[in-house]
């Protein structure tokens, strides 16, 4: 029995409430491998690019390192990111087999041969959990015969008794269409719908400004670079949080990594030197021409940007609630 109480180190990732809940859910799906009585369920984690999905999944994978000896190699968590769409399901199966270290497939084997080879590799390498990232890239079209074939293949992965491990899917908002396809347009019958085999999906969305979760997030980055300690009740410090938020809106958590986790930010003794470093990094890594870390006396446009962000956040929450009510995912 695998020890699933191990956790991602505090310094590896900022653990918001949502991230902690996501980790718990991943562990739940991982644990299905060891419970022979349970019915396997998959899990979808979705959100916009830059929200930290891939970073979280790779951090989880690192907890369970591959073990290689003279006789064999075991891969407790098999992670694969889908980089481009496939022309057919067999091509996708070949890609997975190759990623698991299987021999090159040069001819055109029948799908049943590929299935057998894939199952054999999973068993030989004692894979306990499959993580399929960037799942929205599986198809360039979200309709038609190919898309239906992909859905049916993913259903097979979850249904096949010979595959003991379950699957965590991750991707953009488009990935959620994989889960709901066939529910409303009747292109798939009940037994063919992927949503029947899934837990409730987990959305990862950006933090709202002016909230404790946001200041905690920035404080986490300050801790990583051994920067100054800030007090969110201090007006000047609050302006710093707001300016960082303006930059954060571009690529979310990816932007924060680009801004803070750089040599020139390390051990910044005060806000002045940190502003200077962040200004340089913003010009290097961000696309916007409006650098929030210069002209510190100008605060009106920062205030306006934060107000607009709060409005968008409220609207996104409302849209998400509406979207969730339309779904019929199993809990």
DSSP annotation string for 18-51: HHHHHHHHHHHHHHGGG-TTSPP-BEEEE--TTS
pLDDT at 190 over 80: no
Reported as a single tens digit per residue, the pLDDT across 4-56 is: 999 999 999 999 999 999 999 999 999 999 998 888 999 999 999 999 999 99
pLDDT at 323 over 90: no
Segments making up each domain of the chain, as ranges? 17-205, 212-315
Q: Does domain 17-205 have CATH number 3.40.50.300?
A: yes
pTM for the whole structure = 0.88
Q: Compute φ and ψ for 67, nearest 5 degrees.
A: -120, 125
pLDDT at 192: 55
pLDDT at 324: 54
Helices then strands, counting H and E runs in the chain, come out as 11, 7
pLDDT at 184 over 70: no
């Amino acid at each position: 029995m695998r020890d699933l109480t191990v956790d991602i180190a505090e310094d590896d990732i900022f653990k918001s409430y949502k991230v902690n809940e996501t980790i718990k859910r991943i562990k739940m799906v991982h644990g299905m491998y060891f419970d022979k009585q349970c019915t396997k369920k998959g899990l979808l984690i979705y959100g916009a690019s830059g929200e930290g999905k891939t970073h979280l999944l790779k951090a989880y994978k690192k907890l369970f390192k591959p073990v290689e000896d003279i006789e064999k190699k075991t891969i407790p968590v098999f992670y694969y990111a889908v980089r481009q769409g496939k022309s057919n399901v067999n091509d996708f199966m070949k890609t997975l087999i190759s990623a698991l270290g299987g021999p090159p497939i040069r001819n055109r084997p029948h799908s049943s041969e590929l299935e057998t080879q894939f199952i054999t590799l999973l068993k030989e390498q004692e894979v306990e959990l499959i993580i399929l990232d960037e799942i929205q890239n599986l198809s360039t079209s979200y309709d038609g015969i190919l898309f239906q074939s992909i859905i049916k293949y993913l259903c097979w992965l979850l249904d096949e008794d010979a595959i003991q491990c379950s699957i965590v899917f991750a991707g953009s908002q488009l990935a959620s269409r994989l889960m709901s396809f066939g529910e409303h347009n009747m292109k798939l019958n009940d037994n063919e719908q992927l949503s029947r085999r899934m837990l409730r999906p987990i959305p990862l969305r950006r933090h709202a400004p002016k909230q404790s979760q946001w200041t905690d997030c920035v404080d986490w980055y300050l801790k990583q670079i051994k920067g100054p300690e800030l007090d969110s009740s201090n007006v000047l410090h609050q302006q710093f949080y707001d300016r960082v938020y303006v930059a954060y809106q571009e690529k979310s958590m990816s932007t924060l990594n680009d801004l803070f986790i750089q040599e020139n930010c390390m051990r910044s003794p005060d806000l002045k030197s940190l502003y200077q470093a962040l200004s340089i990094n913003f010009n290097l890594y961000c696309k916007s021409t409006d650098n929030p870390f210069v002209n510190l006396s100008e605060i009106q446009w920062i205030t306006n940007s934060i107000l607009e962000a709060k409005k968008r956040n409220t609207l996104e929450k409302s849209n998400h609630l509406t979207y969730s009510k339309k779904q019929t995912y199993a809990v």
